[in-house]
Structure 1
Amino acid sequence: MLDQTNRPCIVQSDLTVLLETEHPSSQEAKELLFHVAELLKSPANIHTYRITTLSLWNAASAGMTPEAVIQELRRFAKWDVPAKVQQQIKLWMGRYGSLKLELQGEELQLCAMNETIIDEFIEERSIQSYIDTRLDAKTVLLKGHARGLMKQELTRLGYPVLDAIGFHEGKSLPFGFNRGRGPSRPFALRPYQEQAVQAFKGEDGGGYGGSGVVVLPCGAGKTVVGMAVMEQFQCETLILTTNVTSVRQWKTEIMSKTSLTEDDIGEYSGSCKVVKPVTIATYQILTHRKQKADPFVHMQLFQERDWGLIVYDEVHLLPAPVFRATAEIQATRRLGLTATLVREDGCEKDVFSLIGPKRYELPWKELEQQGWIATVNCCEILVPLYAPNLELYWRADAKSKFRIAGENPAKMDVIRSLLEQHEGKPTLIIGQYLDQLAVIAAELQAPIMTGTTPQAKRQELYDGFKRGEIPLLVVSKIANFAVDLPDAAVAIQVSGSYGSRQEEAQRLGRILRPKAGDNTAYFYTVVSRDTKEQDFALKRQLFLVEQGYRYDIRNISNVTKEAAAT
């Protein structure tokens, strides 16, 4: 047993936790913090976490108790957990489950564990419009449409609601997996995929399961988890995803792995609007309208059929109008799939209240150790910014500074060097700025894909890359999400969206699928040294550092000035 002062954590009264990363017990402590806190900063020796209401609610939904969380924090803390922190953990975790939605006959009731809870929020104007009658000290009767809206608003106020009403079955759609089809070995779920499905179902598949989020890295088979949940419930399903490429990939996966046929599957996008027992739609079409004041005409898709399940792919990208529509369909099972619950708009609580709590998450490094995803070597390469760009940088405003640093021409030498180092490996060059990407593509005589690339051309490039006919592909941020490029082994990030942790994780995810041979991939982020881009790069890396990845830092000082001025 370690001496208390020789433990790896300091728990502070403001709910932050400092972790000494070089301590022998740091990995164990990190596993605890993974479940009960969020990573804020990650310098080399000390990582800073913060315990939040949402992290505690997700821990409570996973079955952890306040006492267990406090006991585990004490196990790793140099000094005792401050009384204030213990009180906050008990308060916030105690609120999870203290309010319950139930159906009594046809009436929607909100029931409290004790008489004081409802008194604490009953006077809030934001929820009074959802309340019909207060039946007694512990029970209020809600208006019929208020199930989702009440949950959303109470969560924002700090009172997460346990929805015990359950779900309607939806129209039946019998089908199964093609477990013995094809020359390869029979298809079967991986153990963690089976665990994710069971966690989503809950103990009885009723009020305590059937809604929530499964968090797995890109390449770990989130689509398969979605299909397995569909197979469990055997019902008509609406699948929402990010783009037409993803729609087609979902359709291909469903047809190759299940007994469903093309006659069962509809595409609902800008180019095709067919509704079938399984319908796959894009978020863009649901939120499309000609003018800002016009209604979202395609939101009717939520009522188009008797859906028994709605799957939200890349749920961290869920647009606000889809949140509003989701609030109205709480009687339908809802599955969110994502590699990261990080939202840059801060709406994680809306995902929690309207889609459901985090039902299952497996650390990326654990999947890597088991061989289900590739081992990734991450490297940040710092490049100097030379004149005349350096003079432009110092005269520019903050936004322009970031772009000037991102488009630093000196990055071209580094890109060439990396391509030479990894010659023969399928490589993606990913960036934010179209002018920069066009120059890189022209210099390297490589195909480029951006948001203006027609869908047919995109598919042609994807297919050529998969077949090995295109060894190098230059892509804009359209490749951040829901793109299946299983053979990509090297990703070179030349510019990004400020400090987006979400984007960094998704871009690394392009190369996570298992590789032949040593099962190793390489992720490079090329950054202008001593600029705002370097500051934002540290923020971008937070989520991946929390997952156990480490960035080697390579400082480049010998970029030719001729190349930098090109």
Structure 2
Amino acid sequence: MSVVRLTYEEGTIRVEGVDPDADGGRPEPGDVLDLPFVEYDPRSKSGRAPAFRYADLLARLGREGVEYEERVFETPTLRGLASTYELRSYQADALSAWRENGDRGVLELPTGSGKTVIAIKAIEALATPALVVVPTIDLLEQWHAELREEFDLPVGRFGGGVQSREAITVSTYDSAYLKAESIGDVFPFVIFDEVHHLGGEGYREIARLLAAPARLGLTATFERPDRAHEAIAELLGPVVYRTSADDLAGEHLAPYDVRRIEVDLTDEEREAYERNQETFVSYLRESGIDMRRGSDYQELVKRSGSDPRAREALLAKQRAREIVSNADRKVEELAGILDRHRDDRTIVFTAHNDLVYRLSERFLIPAITHRTGTEERREILERFRDGTYSRIVASNVLDEGVDVPDANVAVVLSGSGSEREFTQRLGRVLRPKGDGGRALLYELVSRDTAEENVAARRR
């Protein structure tokens, strides 16, 4: 085998110098050459490998003592990077675990535990151009400001109407998806914040098209119900460090309690709930559909497009869910909670925008939903941070991707059965309290309804 030359082209690694006749015959498209992940490309008369396999190729060449020329990255060393952060013990352990795994893998730590700090120290340690990929504009702005402050250098951004590339750049997933092929040989280090988003079929292409050998994923909850986390592990590496809110509570995060309060439906709500639930359950029973199987749920959705009874069943289920989520006695219970915690900083979470506005009007609480403009949301959160507001109410928009100021009480009136959602909401009240006090999360559940099963799943 002659000297192997590696270059980056259009989301792939071009491999020259590999014997195309290694299998004894004329090479054809799809032939696997004598390096892993490399197939023959007749157009260029060379081998091709997916860009994300670049680190694996280097490792194989090194193990076999093959001489090679590496022309994928021609990037400078970033000298003088030094942040002001000092890692806590578990943060240092997480960074060490990632480095020991060849600078690849996922860190799973609870919200409020300082995942951003670990990533900043990783950038500092590698001292190489880095791309940070985030799901929202809010997170893009937060990372951009944090990196500029810590490293005192220009920081690029892809997203929010700005396309500016620097040695350290922050991008939304959407922008990274559009640019991945053209920047695949620019950043040897890529960080995926809220990495569970990478499981989406389209977003996976970002990681596939980037050649970055160093890859770090950050999340509070890695596993996805659709098992897409397995694809993420192939693209970034496995979970190399994991800790929970329970592990950190008391020393690094606030100690906390979760109080579940059951409320009864009113007679009118109960009658409407039972009627809609029966419509839904009857259709499942007659059609043989088992909602515990995700494929069966998809079958129900598919049938609803042509079967009026399937559509009515889905609508009935939605109406039943709204009844229990927005139950009047939950609102009455919330009034008592807000009264007991009038001196605390409280966030109220719901699953429905209508309830957000209802609560905002009744209790004179600032409201945040997906309809809230960026500037208005920023102003509300800033006033919550400085103490002007002591409580806010929000739909799912605050679950992820927004820098929420410290609070010590959270009230969940409604939500999904997602463990990720519950973990994110709990994390909003877990940052250490200056007075050493405990954080408290209330979970309001409608008694004798399907919501009890939903609450059990997320716990």
Quick check: TM above 0.5? yes
1:105–1:452 distance in 2 versus 1, CA, 3 Å:
same
Whether contact under 8 Å (1:426, 1:472) holds in the other structure is yes
Question: Paired residue for 1:380, among 260, 266, 290?
Answer: 260
1:469–1:130 distance in 2 versus 1, CA, 3 Å:
farther
Matches of 1:507 and 1:411 in 2, distance apart? 18
Match of 1:212 in 2: 105
Spell out, residue by residue over 1:344-378, the C-alpha distance to the aligned partner (whole angstroms, 9 max, x if none): 33201011101111111123322224x11111111
The Cα shift of 1:537 comes to 0.8
Spell out, residue by residue over 1:538-558, the C-alpha distance to the aligned partner (whole angstroms, 9 max, x if none): 0011xxxxxxxxxxxxxxxxx
The Cα shift of 1:273 comes to 2.6
Spell out, residue by residue over 1:237-269, the C-alpha distance to the aligned partner (whole angstroms, 9 max, x if none): 11111211111221232233x2333xx112322
1:389–1:301 distance in 2 versus 1, CA, 3 Å:
farther
Matches of 1:177 and 1:492 in 2, distance apart? 40
The answer to whether 1:363 aligns with 2:244 is: yes
Indicate the larger mover: 501-510 or 188-197. Answer: 188-197
Question: Paired residue for 1:427, among 321, 346, 350?
Answer: 346
% identical equivalent positions: 28
Whether contact under 8 Å (1:237, 1:310) holds in the other structure is yes
Match of 2:431 in 1: 513
1:525 corresponds to which letter in structure 2?
E
The alignment's TM-score, normalised by the length of structure 2, stands at 0.76
Matches of 1:387 and 1:235 in 2, distance apart? 64
Whether contact under 8 Å (1:132, 1:140) holds in the other structure is no
SS in 2 for 1:273: strand
Indicate the larger mover: 442-451 or 314-323. Answer: 314-323
1:200–1:452 distance in 2 versus 1, CA, 3 Å:
same
Matches of 1:494 and 1:487 in 2, distance apart? 20
Question: Paired residue for 2:213, among 332, 340, 343?
Answer: 332
The alignment's TM-score, normalised by the length of structure 1, stands at 0.62
Question: Paired residue for 2:390, among 471, 490, 499?
Answer: 471
Gaps of 5+ in 2: 1-13, 21-27, 41-46, 63-71, 277-315
Matches of 1:446 and 1:473 in 2, distance apart? 6
Matches of 2:455 and 2:118 in 1, distance apart? 32
Matches of 1:234 and 1:273 in 2, distance apart? 23
Match of 2:151 in 1: 259
Matches of 1:150 and 1:189 in 2, distance apart? 31
SS in 1 for 2:161: coil
Match of 2:318 in 1: 399
Gaps of 5+ in 1: 1-102, 110-128, 152-160, 180-186, 203-207, 288-296, 542-566
Matches of 2:366 and 2:318 in 1, distance apart? 29
Whether contact under 8 Å (2:38, 2:49) holds in the other structure is no
Matches of 2:57 and 2:432 in 1, distance apart? 38
Question: Paired residue for 1:349, among 230, 236, 246?
Answer: 230
SS in 1 for 2:257: strand
The Cα shift of 1:384 comes to 0.8
The answer to whether 1:526 aligns with 2:444 is: yes
The Cα shift of 1:418 comes to 1.0
The Cα shift of 1:226 comes to 0.7
Question: Paired residue for 1:322, among 191, 203, 206?
Answer: 203
Question: Paired residue for 1:132, among 11, 16, 31?
Answer: 31
Matches of 2:350 and 2:456 in 1, distance apart? 17
- How many pairs were matched up? 383
Whether contact under 8 Å (2:190, 2:216) holds in the other structure is yes
How does 1:408-447 map onto structure 2 within 5 Å? Answer: 408-447=327-366
Whether contact under 8 Å (2:19, 2:33) holds in the other structure is no
RCO higher in 1 or 2 (8 Å CA, sep ≥ 6)?
A: 2
2:79 corresponds to which letter in structure 1?
P
Match of 1:229 in 2: 122
1:224–1:195 distance in 2 versus 1, CA, 3 Å:
same
Spell out, residue by residue over 1:131-177, the C-alpha distance to the aligned partner (whole angstroms, 9 max, x if none): 52365xx97854554446889xxxxxxxxx99945995844322423
The Cα shift of 1:197 comes to 1.6
Matches of 2:364 and 2:410 in 1, distance apart? 17
Spell out, residue by residue over 1:276-317, the C-alpha distance to the aligned partner (whole angstroms, 9 max, x if none): 222212224446xxxxxxxxx4445644x7112111001012
Match of 2:171 in 1: 281
1:191 corresponds to which letter in structure 2?
S
1:336 corresponds to which letter in structure 2?
G
Question: Paired residue for 1:268, among 145, 152, 158?
Answer: 158
The Cα shift of 1:105 comes to 7.9
1:480 corresponds to which letter in structure 2?
D
Question: Paired residue for 1:195, among 93, 103, 106?
Answer: 93
Indicate the larger mover: 336-345 or 434-443. Answer: 336-345
Whether contact under 8 Å (1:215, 1:360) holds in the other structure is yes
Spell out, residue by residue over 1:68-89, the C-alpha distance to the aligned partner (whole angstroms, 9 max, x if none): xxxxxxxxxxxxxxxxxxxxxx
1:281–1:150 distance in 2 versus 1, CA, 3 Å:
closer
How does 1:475-514 map onto structure 2 within 5 Å? Answer: 475-497=394-416, 499-514=417-432
Matches of 1:450 and 1:241 in 2, distance apart? 20
1:437–1:301 distance in 2 versus 1, CA, 3 Å:
farther
2:365 corresponds to which letter in structure 1?
A
Matches of 1:108 and 1:361 in 2, distance apart? 43
1:522–1:147 distance in 2 versus 1, CA, 3 Å:
same
SS in 2 for 1:478: helix
How does 1:534-553 map onto structure 2 within 5 Å? Answer: 534-541=452-459
Matches of 1:130 and 1:458 in 2, distance apart? 54
1:105–1:195 distance in 2 versus 1, CA, 3 Å:
farther
Spell out, residue by residue over 1:399-446, the C-alpha distance to the aligned partner (whole angstroms, 9 max, x if none): 322222111121111111111122211110111100011101111111
1:141–1:399 distance in 2 versus 1, CA, 3 Å:
same
Spell out, residue by residue over 1:428-480, the C-alpha distance to the aligned partner (whole angstroms, 9 max, x if none): 01111000111011111111111121111111111111111110111111111
SS in 1 for 2:267: coil
The Cα shift of 1:328 comes to 2.4
Match of 2:270 in 1: 390
The answer to whether 1:313 aligns with 2:193 is: yes
Whether contact under 8 Å (2:192, 2:217) holds in the other structure is yes
Whether contact under 8 Å (1:267, 1:280) holds in the other structure is yes
Instruction: Kindly report the root-mean-square deviation, in angstroms, between the aligned alpha carbons of the 2 structures.
Output: 3.0
1:175–1:429 distance in 2 versus 1, CA, 3 Å:
farther
Matches of 1:238 and 1:275 in 2, distance apart? 10
Whether contact under 8 Å (2:190, 2:215) holds in the other structure is yes
2:444 corresponds to which letter in structure 1?
V
SS in 1 for 2:443: strand
Matches of 1:145 and 1:524 in 2, distance apart? 55
1:364 corresponds to which letter in structure 2?
A
1:104–1:149 distance in 2 versus 1, CA, 3 Å:
closer
1:259 corresponds to which letter in structure 2?
F
